[in-house]
A and B are shown apart, each in its own frame.
Chain A
Amino acid sequence: MGILNKQDDPFGSGNIIITGVDTLLNWSRLSSLWMMGFGLACCAIEMMAASASHYDIGRFGVIPRPSPRQSDMMLISGTVTLKMATRTKILYEQMPDPKYIISMGSCSNCGGPYWEHGYHVLKGVDRIIPVDVYVPGCPPRPEALLEGLMKLQDKVRRQSIARTAV
């Protein structure tokens, strides 16, 4: 809901837009999913390609942030080693709510090529943090990542701050 400037009021008569709190909140959340800027393995290269001008992830309002305190979304882009898993969990806990996770690539979905002999790899990042969207591929193309991002936006769009009956 907002009051428009009378002089350049595009609606002619009224100067008030009416909307729902949920709609407004969801719209603002889904259009500015600031991303925790870190990459874990080869998938990070595709993530960088998606952020560069050709695929331009910025047009979805995704801005890489250098700090978990400023991020809304964490993109797990690559192999989560057990050593990194402990750090990833801390980073996740440092993010303010609401927070979302996209798991990108086979490695973070389920261990990927390291599923059998990867003594040092966590077989799926969902063993330590809750994942919202899984993007399959090794590595997923930037288009697939953008598709995953749009899936996350759909999910955010359907959220409500009202407590629903169980």
Chain B
Amino acid sequence: MTNQEIFDTLKATYGGAIGSFHEQGGSAYMKRTSSYADIVEYSQIAQICQYLRDEPTLEFDNLNCLSCDDNGDKTLSVIYHMESLKFKHHFAFKVTVPIDHPVVPTVTRVWASANWHEREGWDMIGIQFHGHPDLRRILLDDDWEGHPLRKDYKEPEFYRGMKVGY
């Protein structure tokens, strides 16, 4: 299936929860792997992912990547890239949440591989994945303060008595 067809299938099933489709230009590879859909209703992420995985014509059985982003306009994004090993098609979608209430449902029950990706999203950007079984920091130490990939992040002067600046 092409990305447009996948998007149409999704839109037919979920209607208003799905926003617009962004086709990326460039090579066929870019088109296939980087085109993405917006998801408006982010509370439905888990159901939508479940559908994408279980629908016999789609079968997205592999979550390639789950990444997070600070858009700089008081919103944060989570981007899901997935692929079907059987049909060899790709799809991606993006949800955007306000920075003062960054809560997104977890997809660990759909793809177990989302577990560490979501922990990284929490660690770096500070998205709270609701329902995640073990939402701890994954890279930084447990006593670290703040989420360093946010645009408004200020690096601390000292960490455990060690000077951080140059």
Contact = CB atoms under 8 A, between A and B. Distances in A.
Interface of A: 82-83, 85-86, 110-111, 115-116, 119-120, 122-123, 127-128
Contacts of B155: 119
Contacts, number: 31
A110 B163 CA distance: 12
Given A83-B140, A83-B141, A119-B148, A127 B162 contact: yes
Interface string B130-166: 0000000001110000001000010110011011111
B118 to A, nearest CB: 20
A127 B160 CA distance: 12
Interface string B110-141: 00000000000000000000000000000111
B140 A120 contact: yes
Contact of A82 (B141, B153, B166): B141
Contacts of B163: 123, 127
Given A120-B140, A120-B148, A82 B165 contact: no
Nearest to B148: A119
A21 B6 CA distance: 80
A120 B159 CA distance: 9
A111 to B, nearest CB: 6
A111 B132 CA distance: 35
A82 B162 contact: yes
A83 to B, nearest CB: 5
A116 B153 CA distance: 14
Contacts of A122: 162, 164
A128 B166 contact: no
Given A119-B153, A119-B155, A120-B140, A86 B165 contact: no
A122 B163 CA distance: 8
